[in-house]
Structure 1
Amino acid sequence: MTNKLTACTSILIGKKASIDGSIMIGRNEDAKAAWPKHMVVHQHGELGKHFISKDTKLALDLPGDSARYTATPEWTDKDGLFEEDGINEYDVAMSATESAYANSLVLGCDPLVDDGLNEEAMVTVVLPFVKTAREGVQRLGDLIAKYGSGETNGALFADNDEAWYFENGSGHYWVAQRIPDDAYAVVANQLAIQEIDFNDPDNFMFHPGIQQFVTDNHLNPHPDSFNFRQIFGTADRSDAVYSEPRVWIGHQMFSPLAAKDEEPESTELPFIMKPERQLSVFDAQAYLSNHFEGTAFDPLGKGPAAHRYRPISLAKTQESHILQMGRSTGANIHWLALGVAAQSTYVPFFNGITDVPAPYKRGKLPAQLNSAYWIFKHASVLVDSHLHDFLPLLEDVQKERRAAAIQLIRATDTELARHTGEARAKFLTRQSDNFATDTLNAYKKLALELITKMTDYSPLNFNTDENL
């Protein structure tokens, strides 16, 4: 990316791999430790007919009225929108992007382009104009094939029936794979898709010229198969330290028996995995909040390996999201945790809302404590100051909010059938707003409690004899 290189972690879960039959796609957006995000709801038709990227200056005519959709843009659009994730009115979810890296041989044959479609604009020009996940894959692929991209990226799509993972491995060439219903995938800043079956359109999509491009330029080290990761990707020392351990820990969490022989620096970890139990939304949250806890690699530990590998949840996480689709009992959910996932709380916003609370639309530099982003970050940095003493207090708030979220969702699902049309939208908005506001209040209360306790930690403190 020309202005902001993000380095994220993603998870995708099929409907038969989840405990409630829902489909989940989620990602951490990692860039800067202090760079606020907002949440917005774009109304139907809001985008108009034309789009010009502030990042690459790419100009596009937009195909008809834009759908209503949620998004999490930057606090400033100086360098572009970076809307990152959302669900549209047709129940299509998109998250973009998972930054990845292509090898020099491929980029020598199909270089990245300076004026193409980058992460900054992908959600904005794709999500509001598609009615299925497959349409999302196809639209993004067609745009990159035509205009090119200045980055190699992964993008996540889901609807009420299936989840897809999309990757472009050069300036113009791309592939996508459907996540099997009984499987999951975790991705960490590498091109992840492996074997492509060009005769299986139900599960694979791709640039129509990619096979010829690879053949003409002698790019395939194993001509008897077509392994996208091996042809387009990298497998160097930076991958071993930065990317592969995050995939490894996901496999250890969800498939410990199958992954018992895997190592953190393994270069050929599988993309598609089957979990050894059905996964809940809290499992997805736990993965995106993971920092190798329970291992020697936890940066909160003190051993020699504590900072060997880059953790999933880290200070540079701006926001973390899980888009939960195909919910048979009620509205789909855009879960959003602002700031560091391990120290924040995922707030459920129901698809169909018309607005979000004002603090979620605020936040800039320097910090301002009427902003949701900064309210979560404020508590986070206070906890960091005395982690051993304060982390249990944060965890108590997180535990209470998780239970409250399930109670909210159950109550909302039960009552939702009584509402239609405008009344339904108002009901979902009210339910989401109340929980989001209650969560901010819980974090404000936590911050005040932490500040109160910190007053006795001053280096100017002195144990005075109370009899004096």
Structure 2
Amino acid sequence: MKKLLLIFVVGAFLLAAYPASACTTTLTGKKASADGSVMVSHSDDGLGDGRLIYVPAMDHEKGSMRAVYYDGCSLGYKPEWGASETHRIVSKERGPGYNTPGYPQSVPIGFIPQVKHTYAYFDANYAIMNEHQLSIGECTDKAKVEPEPAAGKRLFYSSELSRVALERCIKARDAVKLMGELIDKYGYYGTGETLLVADPDEGWVMEMCGYDKEGTNGVWVAQRVPDDSFFVAANQFRIREIRKGARDMMYSKNIFSAAKEKGWWSPKEGKLDWTKVYGDGEYHHPYYSLRRVWRAQSLVAPSKKVSAWVEGPLTKEYPFAIKPDNKLSVEDIFSVHRDNYEGTEFDLTKGMASGPFNNPNRFEGQAEATSGNDEALTPLKGAFERPLNIYRCVYAYVNQSRKGLPDTIGGLTWFGPDRPATACLMPFYAGVNNLPAPLQQADILKFSHNSMWTAFNYVANYAMLKYSYMIKDIKAVRDQYETEAFGKQAEIEKTALALIKNKKIDEAKQMLTKYCDTNAQNILKDWWKLSETLYIKYNDGYLNTSAGVANPVFYPAWWLKQVGYEQGPLTYIKQKGEQ
């Protein structure tokens, strides 16, 4: 009986505890960017489905219905809704990329009326960008109430909301309204969520959550980001006071009545503070979210001298959006995601925890390692700093939506597989006919040389053996490809634009598709070559090159002192303190 009880408890723990999908997302207004684009970025920080899928445009018969699927990003993998922990959707109706035999078919939570035509888009754990430059980013937030999905009552989570928006909308404002209407009509389940929605003209922050475990709707709010500003969210709601009648805000009709009904807010208290009323602070420990908000704002606007220290989780120290000191580029935005607090008092490349070779990765060992479970996985109380770059990131990207260019060229996703610090950005234009096959293949439980995600994850993990050395080799290959891609951008777009002006749109799309595919295939080949180079060059802890084999790379003196290197064994006499 004791053994049976133990099995039951462990099984229940595994079902309740699911990998934390804790992301960082940013939005840069068109007057804050270097090239006038509206930029959205996102790092998907939960080890799971690493595929970037191309969903083609489709025509649908009148009266047809669209399936709404459950997504494990919401409340963890649930076998009753089909698919798997490694494949978020398995269905023929979402195009070839999601038609993956050998995995359980996704089971719809429910259906909504389909539209006559749906747009093509890039999709991952959340939708990314469609053929009309509509762009989305995401982060998970802690809400007071996180309802379960229920057929006929609670159909939508942010992931499927984002997909419907890209299937049906061209403008950010329309996408926000549509997603709000879907929440109102079909209900919302899962965690609190932030979705960033942008087009070439403007960008919006939309936040949502449930407020009743058995409710049949949800609650949401949206706020426009000023064109000259930069916004960042990191697993905590960021919209504060609801201003009735404000032109830069939208919200659900029940936002005030639901808060009063739950006793969370009274009009006597003044304006409703969305983050305070519907949110539940930071995940896991102080500064899990706020440190990243501070770091991102301090990187883009150092002159503002925002403080790293605040009084509590509901601080207003960090403004909703901040005007950057200089106009921002794609490289600037992705460098934020690559950050490990280097050069600050929180620098994760320093100290004993980074080891002798300055490894910034900190494996999580307590409740922060999972969502939905608060039990410590170690008897020690404590926490490491939570960086913008984290080892369990499955992908990251920067989207550009650019006015004055045809959608085919203007929409551009710079995609980096696995964690940002060791990723290489690859360009994919909104007008491509498909995405490279290696990007659409990934299974975290299978090793595949044909998978882009596997290649990058493999190199990133291997680099942790001698990080301060290997990161230089990785950057050398990465910088070569990124510099080439940014350098070629103007020429590629000039050629595509000329074809479009001559009404050769199909030729332009084919050219862009071939360019993006060739670039990605070359990176995949060279990344596996890099993995072999790292293996040989640092084999057995030595430095091995054509100049010499087995050249020692010893530990730094500061680290040797702290681990007791000086205490022996240097003599046959027992040293003081030895057992």
TM band (smaller chain) = 0.7 to 0.9
Aligned to 1:175: 221
2:166 is the counterpart of 1:127: yes
For each residue in 1:60-110, what CA deviation from the matched residue of structure 2 results, as whole angstroms up to 9, or x when unmatched? 22431453333343xxxxxxxx3x132212221123x3110123xxx3xxx
1:85 corresponds to which of 105, 127, 134:
127
Residue 212 of structure 1: SS of its match in structure 2? helix
Change (3 A) 1:236 1:369: closer
Select between 179-188 and 411-420 the one with higher mean Cα deviation: 411-420
Matching residue's letter, 1:428: L
Distance 1:53 1:405, change over 3 A: same
Deviation at 1:345, TM superposition (A): 0.8
For 2:490, the equivalent position in structure 1 comes to: 410
Deviates more, 1:445-454 or 1:333-342: 445-454
SS at match of 1:153: strand
Query: What is the 5 A alignment of 1:304-453?
Result: 308-328=384-404, 330-364=409-443, 365-420=445-500, 421-453=505-537
Identity percentage of aligned residues = 23
Aligned equivalent of 1:280: 329
Q: What is the match of residue 214 of structure 1?
A: 259
Question: Is the alpha carbon distance of 1:299 and 1:224 closer, same or farther for their aligned partners in structure 2, counting shifts above 3 Å?
Answer: same
CA offset at residue 423 of structure 1? 1.1
Question: What stretches of structure 2 of length at least 5 have no aligned partner?
Answer: 1-14, 72-80, 82-107, 212-217, 355-359, 363-383, 544-548, 553-579
Q: Secondary structure at the match of 2:476?
A: helix
* TM-score of the pair, normalised by structure 1: 0.87
Distance 1:444 1:46 in 2: 39
1:311 Cα deviation after fit: 0.9
In the alignment, the residues of structure 2 paired with residue 288 and residue 66 of structure 1 have an alpha-carbon distance, to the nearest angstrom, of 35
Higher mean C-alpha displacement, 284-293 vs 228-237: 228-237
Asked if structure 1 preserves the Cα contact closer than 8 Å seen for 2:127 and 2:159, the reply is no
Aligned residue number for residue 77 of structure 1: none
Q: For the Cα contact (< 8 Å) 1:9–1:187, is it kept in 2? A: yes
- Could you tell me how far 1:6 is from its partner in structure 2? 1.2
Other structure's SS at 2:475 match: helix
* Pair 1:149-2:189 in alignment: yes
Note the C-alpha offset of 1:265. 7.2
Question: What's the secondary structure of 2:498's corresponding residue?
Answer: coil
- Look up the match of 2:42: 27
Aligned match of 1:252 in 276, 298, 304? Answer: 298
Q: What letter corresponds to residue 121 of structure 1 in structure 2?
A: E
What amino acid is aligned across from residue 416 of structure 2 in structure 1? A
When residues 133 and 391 of structure 1 are mapped into structure 2, their CA distance, relative to the original with a 3 A threshold, is same
SS of aligned partner of 1:355: coil
CA contact (8 A) 2:542 2:550 kept: no
Contiguous gaps of at least 5 residues in structure 1: 74-81
Partners of 1:128 and 1:237 lie apart in 2 by 32
Moved more, 42-51 or 157-166: 42-51
Shift of 1:239: 5.0
Letter in 2 for 1:300: T
Provide the aligned C-alpha RMSD in A.
2.7
CA distance in 1, matches of 2:396, 2:493: 24
Match of 1:289 among 306, 321, 338: 338
> Whose Rg is larger?
2
Matched residue pairs, number? 444
Q: Deviations over 1:398-447 (max 9, x none)?
A: 22222111122111121122223211211111121122222223322221
Cα distance change, pair 50–263 in 1 and its aligned pair in 2 (3 A) = same
CA distance in 2, matches of 1:377, 1:46: 37
TM-score (norm 2): 0.71
Deviates more, 1:375-384 or 1:150-159: 375-384
Q: What is the CA–CA distance in structure 1 between the aligned matches of 2:483 and 2:446, rounded to whole Å? A: 33
Deviation string, structure 1 residues 96-141 (Cα, Å, up to 9, x no partner): x3110123xxx3xxx6243221244233333201121111111111
Query: What displacement does 1:328 show?
Result: 3.7
Q: Corresponding residue for 1:76? A: none
Residue 8 of structure 1: aligned partner: 23
CA distance in 1, matches of 2:452, 2:550: 37
Mapped pair 1:63 → 2:114: yes
Cα distance 1:266–1:393, how it changes in 2: closer, same or farther (>3 A)?
A: farther
Shift of 1:377: 1.4
**How far is 1:449 from its partner?**
1.3
CA distance in 2, matches of 1:198, 1:438: 53
Paired residue type of 1:196: I
* One-letter amino acid matched to 1:86: I
Distance, in Å, in 2 between the alignment partners of 1:237 and 1:463 is 45
Instruction: Tell me which amino acid in the other structure corresponds to 1:140.
Output: M
Q: Which amino acid aligns with 1:39?
A: L
Q: What residue number does 1:79 align with? A: none
Q: Which moved more, 1:412-421 or 1:184-193?
A: 412-421
Tell me the amino acid that sits aligned with residue 165 of structure 1: V
- Among 43, 52, 57, the alignment partner of 2:56 is 43
In 1, distance between residues paired with 2:515 and 2:403?
A: 17
User: 1:78 matched to which residue of 2?
Assistant: none
Deviating runs (4+, > 4 A) in structure 1? Answer: 1-5, 54-57, 303-307, 461-464
SS at match of 1:419: helix
